[in-house]
């Protein structure tokens, strides 16, 4: 089925190029070709302009490419490889070759061929006429082209190729996998969710990039709109949805560990050109690894590969992020938790958030399990028990209390506290049942799913990022935990709400908790992955 180009960029697995209406975070009147390489915020390379535009927006299919309607015909654009785009029109059209900085230039080494040098974007394009006629109009100021436009007559076919000469550049190749094969590997779903399953599979497939620069293995970006990075917890949810292809799932899980810091910390995010370490992300990796193990992704060789990195990551939290005299680890900032502006962090101090301890208990237990499989002695199990005791000591009869590093309790109503349900039956019955009861009755549960801040909270904001909207990772973490706690009926109710929400609003970054409207980036991979996982569960 055709997908709307207005919200879903057209790309293919392995490519760093994308077509869409997003022009550096603005919606363009025309279809633009963007690069998602480097810290580029999706740099616009050129704009496809029909000679006689139509008000109708373009749509596309993964196999057939983009169909751009015009007033008197159509222009087609499709990727023939990860670095090649073919543009053909039965009507006249032009390629507006944007210039935005010094040294940007367009030169012609031969008739019917142009080299587009975008120094400002670190991109080199080559354009060739495959059929028909095209002529260049350009304005050159003696140092650079301040404007350039390639005008194509009706019937002209142009090939646009991204030239990349760096030694680790991704090759000019077919997609990593055909979309039909990718769709076949995606988790199954009930017939009522079949169209949404196809869209979710496309969003994840098209967001894959090939190895290049700092990207050492095939990896899934959050999006090819503007969230053109791998963040060090989103990759875990995407890995779970890739379990139908164990090699891809394992690569997606390990990709963040390729840039692990010498102290054991993981970066906040990375792309092919940069990795950022000011913040980090929460340790959901042990929880993820256990799930991948249950799904048959983990082999003995993979256990040996991950044991050292996962050990270092865990020790970093328990040493570098545990304050002197304290027994629980802390987040320095909301960004470290992944819940950037959650009300847990409204005081602006390091926070001993109970979710962090709960996730590390799971991670310590997973390390103990790996050590046993590898025949290695360890103290992981004992350390897990110690940390669990310290966490249980923060229970006040109704909730696990977050503290700042001075020991002062923090008042909040964020959904983040319920991530502690990940501990399942490790929690005493009274605590577990109290948490489940509060989750169901204290305002987080809306018609569409779990609001990250209750709508009746004075700090609730409809488009408040982690202060209200519904998010995929929080939904999946808590639903998976509810199932582990035996609260399957509540989990199924929330899963139905979330899947119906996505079916109506698409693969948005997050959603208005009351209206169900999609917010922010509209082609987000962890939303797609979580939908696939939950829709599959509902189909069983």
Listed by start position, the domains of the chain span 3-163, 179-538
Percentage of the chain beyond pLDDT 90 is: 90
- The whole-number pLDDT of residue 165 equals 65
The CATH number of the structural domain formed by 3-163 is 2.70.98
Specify the pairing of strand 134-140 against strand 145-152.
antiparallel
For 96-105, 174-183, 229-238, 406-415, which range has the lowest pLDDT when averaged over its residues? 96-105
> If you average pLDDT over every residue of the chain, what do you get?
95
End-to-end CA distance of the chain: 25
Same fold, 3-163 and 179-538: no
**Where residue 381 falls among pLDDT bands split at 50, 70, 90?**
very high
Q: Do 88 and 123 contact (CB within 8 A), yes or no?
A: no
Query: Is the model more confident about 34 or about 119?
Result: 34
Q: What is the mean pLDDT of residues 466-478?
A: 98
Query: Measuring CA to CA, which residue among 362, 364, 366 is closest to residue 480?
Result: 362
Q: How far, in Å, CA of 291 to CA of 286, rounded?
A: 9
pLDDT above 70: residue 168: no
pLDDT above 90: residue 280: yes
Classify domain 179-538 at the CATH topology level. Answer: Glycosyltransferase (1.50.10)
Q: How far, in Å, CA of 14 to CA of 5, rounded?
A: 19
Query: Measuring CA to CA, which residue among 364, 460, 360, 363 is closest to residue 413?
Result: 460
- The whole-number pLDDT of residue 167 equals 63
SS3 assignment, position 51: coil
What are the structure tokens assigned to 54, written together?
A: 């139509």
- The whole-number pLDDT of residue 38 equals 82
- Tally Cβ neighbours within 10 Å of residue 64: 10
Q: What is the pLDDT of residues 80-92, one digit of tens each?
A: 999 999 999 999 9
Q: What is the mean pLDDT of residues 461-490?
A: 97
pLDDT above 60: residue 41: no
């Amino acid at each position: 089925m055709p997908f709307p180009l207005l919200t879903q960029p057209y790309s293919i697995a392995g490519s760093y190029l994308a077509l869409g209406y997003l022009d550096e975070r603005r919606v363009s009147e025309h279809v633009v070709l963007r690069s998602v390489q480097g810290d580029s915020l999706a740099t616009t390379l050129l704009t496809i302009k029909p000679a006689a535009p139509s008000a109708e927006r373009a749509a596309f299919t993964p196999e057939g490419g983009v169909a751009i309607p015009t007033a008197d015909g159509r222009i087609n654009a499709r990727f023939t490889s990860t670095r090649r785009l073919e543009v053909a029109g039965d009507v006249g059209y032009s390629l507006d070759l944007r210039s935005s900085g010094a040294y940007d230039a367009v030169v012609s080494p031969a008739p019917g061929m142009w080299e587009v040098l975008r120094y400002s974007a670190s991109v080199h394009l080559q354009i060739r006429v495959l059929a028909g006629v095209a002529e260049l109009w350009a304005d050159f100021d003696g140092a650079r082209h301040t404007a350039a436009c390639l005008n194509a007559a009706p019937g002209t076919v142009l090939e646009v190729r991204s030239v990349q000469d760096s030694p680790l550049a991704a090759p000019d190749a077919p997609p990593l996998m055909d979309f039909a094969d990718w769709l076949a590997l995606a988790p199954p779903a009930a017939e009522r969710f079949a169209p949404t399953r196809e869209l979710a599979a496309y969003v994840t497939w098209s967001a894959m990039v090939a190895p290049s620069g700092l990207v050492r293995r095939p990896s899934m970006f959050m999006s090819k709109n503007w969230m053109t990075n791998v963040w060090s917890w989103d990759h875990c949810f995407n890995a779970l949805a890739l379990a139908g292809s164990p090699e891809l799932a394992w690569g997606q899980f390990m990709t963040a560990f390729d840039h692990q810091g010498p102290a054991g910390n993981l970066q906040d995010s990375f792309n092919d050109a940069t990795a950022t370490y000011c913040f980090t992300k929460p340790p959901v990796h042990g929880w993820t690894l256990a799930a991948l193990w249950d799904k048959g992704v983990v082999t003995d060789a993979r256990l040996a590969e991950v044991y050292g990195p996962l050990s270092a990551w865990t020790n970093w939290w328990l040493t570098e992020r545990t304050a002197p005299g304290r027994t629980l680890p802390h987040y320095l900032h909301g960004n470290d938790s992944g819940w950037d502006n959650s009300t847990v962090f409204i005081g602006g101090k390091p926070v001993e958030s109970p979710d962090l301890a709960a996730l590390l208990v799971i991670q310590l237990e997973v390390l103990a399990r790996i050590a046993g499989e590898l025949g290695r002695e360890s103290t992981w199990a004992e350390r897990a028990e110690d940390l669990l005791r310290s966490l249980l000591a923060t229970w006040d009869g109704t909730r696990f209390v977050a503290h700042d590093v001075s020991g002062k309790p923090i008042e909040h109503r964020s959904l983040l506290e319920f991530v502690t349900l990940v501990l399942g039956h490790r929690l005493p019955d009274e605590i577990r049942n109290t948490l489940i009861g509060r989750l169901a009755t204290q305002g987080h549960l809306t018609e569409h799913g779990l609001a990250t801040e209750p709508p009746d909270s004075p700090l609730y904001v409809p488009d408040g990022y982690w202060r209200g909207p519904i998010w995929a990772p929080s939904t999946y973490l808590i639903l998976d935990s509810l199932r582990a706690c035996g609260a399957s009926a509540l989990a199924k109710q929330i899963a139905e709400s979330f899947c119906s929400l996505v079916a109506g609003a698409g693969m948005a970054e997050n959603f208005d908790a009351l209206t169900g409207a999609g917010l922010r980036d509209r082609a987000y991979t962890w939303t797609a992955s979580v939908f696939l996982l939950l829709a599959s569960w509902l189909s069983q």
